[in-house]
Structures are given as structure tokens and as C-alpha cells.
Chain A
Amino acid sequence: NAGVTQTPKFRVLKTGQSMTLLCAQDMNHEYMYWYRQDPGMGLRLIHYSVGEGTTAKGEVPDGYNVSRLKKQNFLLGLESAAPSQTSVYFCASSTSTDTQYFGPGTRLTVL
């Protein structure tokens, strides 16, 4: 099992550009999450999903959109990137009762 994978690993954008981050899991988990981590801080929840076709806002959802068209994939989109979105983005997945399993992260820089 690959667990949770994230694509790409690194990305540099210019202000105003758009991009999509892909998260994939092969553990048949119902729940998936997107977090961001800024230097010296813990992770903050952006959006999450409790099943295929469902999404919900987390703590810091502004400027991001998500989609869960397939159970194994969770996409995070930035429609118009801003320097404040420079961060490391982590995806995670879980069952309804177990701990969360995290991907390796995507390091995004917005110039």
C-alpha cells in the first residue's frame, strides 16, 4: 500500500495563478482532509470530506476550493494564488474511529 500520496511535492506560482493539488489514498478511508502548516505553527484545517461527493469548511477555508468526486481522491484548488497562501500543504485520511494518516506534503511558494 502506498498510503496517502500528494502531487506535486513542490510548486512555485505567481500571484493570481491557479493550481490544483491532488491527494490520493489507497486505504478505502471515508474521511479526507486538507491542512496547511506555516513556520513554527501547528497544522490548520482548510477543508475536509466525510465521504465521496461531500465537503465541508474547516478553520481557514478562504481562497481554497475542494472536490471529492472519487472516494480515493481529494483535490484542493487555488483559483487566484496570493503570497499569504505560501505554505506546506498536507493531506490526510482516516476511518471514522482511527487516527489520521498523512501524506508527505506539498511545499507551495507564491511570489
Chain B
Amino acid sequence: KQEVTQIPAALSVPEGENLVLNCSFTDSAIYNLQWFRQDPGKGLTSLLLIQSSQREQTSGRLNASLDKSSGRSTLYIAASQPGDSATYLCAADTGRRALTFGSGTRLQVQP
């Protein structure tokens, strides 16, 4: 059974810092790894999707990497802004098109 873990559970940084969020998964036989953002009381918004054959994906100030052999993915946020404050969730797709989620990292960017 796939298990996804995110560390840290919460993170507070001053505005402008670069930061890394970590995600680990137990079953390396994944089809893709996805990162989502969740604002309080809202649904999830997709940020990046990395296919199993890829090593990284970039979108603006966000860069996600994938290392299947070690069961790890990281989300790098450059030059953080207060608007980046949210909970970030990673999820592994093990082939049924249904995702296994981590419990998230709650990010607070201080102005």
C-alpha cells in the first residue's frame, strides 16, 4: 500500500526566502507525482505534475523534482511571497488514476 509523508507539517518563513518542501513515498512504482495548493476552506489547485519518466517540472517560481529510486519529491519555491501562504499537498498516482495524498505542509510567509 502506498504511503505518502510530508515534512515539515508546518513552516514559517520571512518574505523573500527560497524554501523547499519535502515529500516521500513508499512505493516507487508510480505513474506520476503531483503537487497541489489548498487555501483555507477551499478546494485543491494543481501546481505541478511530474510524470514518472521526468526528473523535474517548473512553473514560474515553482520547481518540483522527482527521484523515484529514493522515493522522494521536493517542491522548491523561489522568492516566497505572502500570497504563497497555504497548505501544500503532494500526491502519488500509482496507476489507477486515483491519488494517495500526504497530509500536507502548512506554509506561512511573513511580510
Contact = CB atoms under 8 A, between A and B. Distances in A.
Interface of A: 4, 31, 33, 35, 40-45, 48, 50, 56, 58-59, 90, 92, 94, 96, 98-105
A103 B38 CA distance: 12
B66 to A, nearest CB: 15
What is the interface residue range for chain B against chain A?
20 to 34
Given A48-B98, A50-B97, A105 B103 contact: no
Contact of A45 (B4, B49, B99): B99
A105 B42 contact: yes
A41 B103 contact: yes
Nearest to A40: B103
Contacts of A41: 103
Interface string B20-61: 000000000000001010000111111001000000000000
A58 B104 contact: no
B102 interface: yes
B72 to A, nearest CB: 17
Contacts of B42: 104-105
